[in-house]
Amino acid sequence: MAGYLLLILYLCYLTVVLAQDYQTGMQSGHLPFTVWVIDTIDLFIHEAGHFIFGIFGRFVEILGGSLFQVLIPLATVWVFARANLKSLPFTLYWTGQSLVNVSVYIGDAPYQRLHLISRTAIHDWHWIFNTLGMMDSAEDVSSIVFGAGILVCAAGIGAGLYFEGRDYYRRSAPPAGGPASR
């Protein structure tokens, strides 16, 4: 199971990138390929969320992009864990990474510096905070969502290390009913 442990260690590296360099890397285009791929998938899911939640009115339509971007990875946690708990590190990482991605969008609300998918697109979180009269809270909300994302990534890594340790112990333990160790 050395491959599984290597993947968990790679998730550690990606989580450090998220925690330290994600926003800078997003702006400069210097993110690990894996993070870029997940970001691209998240963008499509985010945009689909606007369409799907649009039936619930303007506010939920605008919120629906970020909401769907987090709900889909969260759903994979539940679906894949039912089949194999060892999938938790990867689905939890995706969920945490999506939260971190949304946190950058939230934190940008007062400044609107992020490049959106078109010049005519509205900044979801700027609109939400303006509508709620909470623009002064954008950075606080962003920090909370960012912290939650990093914690979810860390929980995934912790689960992976637990499963690897458990499996190592099972492989190295003497077989049941075998000779007792002295």
Q: Which two tokens stand for residue 86?
A: 């060892």
Residue 26: pLDDT above 70? no
What predicted TM-score, i.e. pTM, was given to this entire model? Answer: 0.90
* Confidence class for position 2, pLDDT limits 50, 70, 90: confident
Q: What mean pLDDT comes out for the span 13-20? A: 93
pLDDT in tens, 92-143: 999 999 999 999 999 999 998 888 887 788 999 999 999 999 999 999 999 9
E strand residue ranges, 51-102: none
pLDDT in tens, 69-104: 999 999 999 999 999 999 999 999 999 999 999 999
pLDDT in tens, 144-170: 999 999 999 999 999 999 999 888 888
CA distance 118 to 69: 19
Instruction: Please calculate the CA angle 127-46-157 and round it to the nearest 5 degrees.
Output: 115
pLDDT in tens, 29-43: 778 899 999 999 999
Residue 28: pLDDT above 80? no
Q: Which two tokens stand for residue 45?
A: 């899911």
- From the centroid of its chain, how far is CA 172? 34
pLDDT of residue 22: 83
Separation of first and last alpha carbons in the chain: 28
Indicate the DSSP class of residue 179: P
CA distance 159 to 6: 14
